[in-house]
Copies of this chain bind each other. A is one copy, B any other.
């Protein structure tokens, strides 16, 4: 493995570890646990799982890896605060969506070279990217890994 490959492999390993914990949490949390707020007056576990499903689903077009799969979750879990809309899918379906999205991302990630990780993502213009080339695919991967850790820390409080 080259130095470049080892570096991107490290970032991917970190993503996989966090997503593995997230999948395990979602798989083991019972339906009634999903209805618990992570702290009094805060988001339910189910809202946060939906929120992460959307954030990760959106990585597909953002990283140029294909169409997204589940925009039906956006209104309830991403674009509006908790409680604005009823849950759009069952708890079982939400768990399945998380697994599906993470599996599609994992396959796509395997195909990217170190150089491709440094290419611009779709949410930045060519002009802005030329001024700040750190706005690349790798930055999105690391940012989403931290974002998932952030909400995982909250959801774990219901255990």
Contact = CB atoms under 8 A, between A and B. Distances in A.
Interface string A131-151: 001101011001101110111
A86 interface: no
A131 to B, nearest CB: 14
B143 A146 contact: no
Interface stretch (A3-11, A65-73, A98-106): A3-11
Total copies of this chain within the assembly: 2
Q: What range describes how many residues of A lie at the interface?
A: 35 or more
Interface stretch (A25-33, A38-46, A75-83): A38-46
Given A39-B39, A42-B157, A114-B3, A10 B136 contact: yes
Contacts of A145: 142, 146
A125 to B, nearest CB: 19
A18 interface: yes
Interface of A: 3-4, 6-11, 13-14, 17-18, 38-40, 42, 114-115, 117-118, 133-134, 136, 138-139, 142-143, 145-147, 149-154, 156-157
Given A7-B7, A7-B114, 18 more contacts: A3-B114, A3-B115, A6-B134, A6-B136, A7-B11, A7-B117, A10-B134, A10-B136, A10-B142, A11-B11, A14-B139, A14-B142, A39-B157, A142-B142, A145-B146, A149-B149, A151-B153, A153-B153
